[in-house]
Amino acid sequence: MKVFENFKAISAIPRESGNEEGIRNFLVKWAEDNNFKYAVDKIGNLIVYCQATKGYENVPPLALQGHMDMVCVKTLESKHDFTKDGIDVYEDGDFLRAKDTSLGGDNGIAVAMVMDVFTDKDCKHGPLEAIFTVSEETGLTGAFNLDVSLIKSRKLINLDSEDEGIIYIGCAGGSDVTAKLKVTENARPAAFQTISLEVKNLKGGHSGGEIHLQRANAIKILARILHTLSKSFPIMISDFNGGTKHNVIPFQAKAVFSFNKNYKTQIFEKLEAMENIIKNEYKVQDPDITFIKEIVEVKTAIDEKVSKAFINSLFLAPHGVQSMSFAIKGIVETSANLAIVRFENETFTVSTSQRSNIESSRDYISEVVAQALSTSGAQVEIGNGYPSWAPNPNSSLAAFCSKAYKELTGKEAEVTAIHAGLECGIINSKITGMDSVSIGPDIWDVHSTSEHLSISSTLNVLAFLKHLLEIIK
């Protein structure tokens, strides 16, 4: 099937956020081979134009939109190099999966579907504009810098959602917090012994789309364990690393810390007890949590007082759902993701992301996170963030799509908002009169190595999209 041939061709091209040149060149060649006009704006977004089919010349133009980049994560054992290796896609029943990496269905399947629509001789439609943006996953850079003079459409169908049968008309806004703590490493005391503690095999996932599932956060687990130990025993950190991307729930983390040898028995008993407690708490959400302990040798460690302050700052930093929406039942209103911890050059760097449908709540939770992290003495910075996409209950496009879905499938579409970030709100704010919706096929465990895309759902959504284009006026 053409759409999956397209997707596999896209997946063969490295396209981590910020490295979209290869996929853009691929799409430019595709446009040229099919005699589609196109334009590339200054930031690197690609707009491709498809003429109306016969009899649809007077239909107003419509934009189909998705992003070219993907979140790249891999298993700890994988040797995959995202700068040069393509994604190894394989079929598993009704699903497409990737071997040892994220799949990139977010948002490669949008690009694949647009390619299918543009080249399908049986698809009837008015003038179409494909908007392929860059660096959506790292700050919606393409949408913020889109050259709107290249866009004539005033209706936009975004294809970056992950739930068949749902028409999204709003999304959360977000912001990031970064904390940097400069420390000094000293010779580890001779009376101390060092252990490496790793937590792995968590599900992780999208910090917007799957935060409501309350999965375990590897960084928070380690912080909790070390906080518990530090209340009774002197602890000195030598390393702490975890997480992968700001919009990914951390699925692995490792800490290296030292303790007085006199407390070895008590330390290991406490570790065993804490591991059992955590496994029990997450036995439903994250049944495969694995702890690996290993005695290691280090020469240096960080002062006990500084180590404890840093551990406690991570322990205090909020993570997960902060509040549910009263305006739209069933969706998260505000959340936080303690996303990344790195230790390099005697500096701890912590990165977090916060989301909310309400701007003041987004700013509030960001300030709470910043204050928690600052308790270690770290220098903290709150990013500018991006705005929410306020739902428009009077959207004529949403009403039309909902009616068309019922006519085609016999089922009622759910019209709602999503906690994940989408580019629609930014594009709407830049183009006066733009009316947007977001749809997409079923994709699970996005931004993780467990990501999988439904083949049948993709075909259903593609059929719905072509139906929309045929009847929309």
Q: Which residues are catalytic?
A: 69, 136
Partners of 349 in beta bridges: 180, 342
Q: Which tokens hold the place of 325?
A: 């929406």
Partners of 47 in beta bridges: 39, 131
d(CA 90, CA 101): 12
Q: Which helix (H) or strand (E) holds 155?
A: strand 155-158
Q: Which tokens hold the place of 342?
A: 């790195």
Chain centroid offset of residue 211 CA: 10
Contact 238, 300 (CB under 8 A): yes
Q: For residue 51, with 0-12 CB atoms within 10 Å meaning exposed, 13-18 middle and 19 or more buried, which class applies?
A: middle
d(CA 224, CA 227): 5
d(CA 161, CA 312): 37
Sign (positive or negative) of CA dihedral 111, 117, 118, 119: positive
Q: For residue 120, with 0-12 CB atoms within 10 Å meaning exposed, 13-18 middle and 19 or more buried, which class applies?
A: middle
Contact 242, 340 (CB under 8 A): yes
d(CA 285, CA 222): 17
Coil, strand or helix: which one is 164? coil
Chain centroid offset of residue 87 CA: 17
Q: Which helix (H) or strand (E) holds 339?
A: strand 332-344
Contact 137, 67 (CB under 8 A): yes
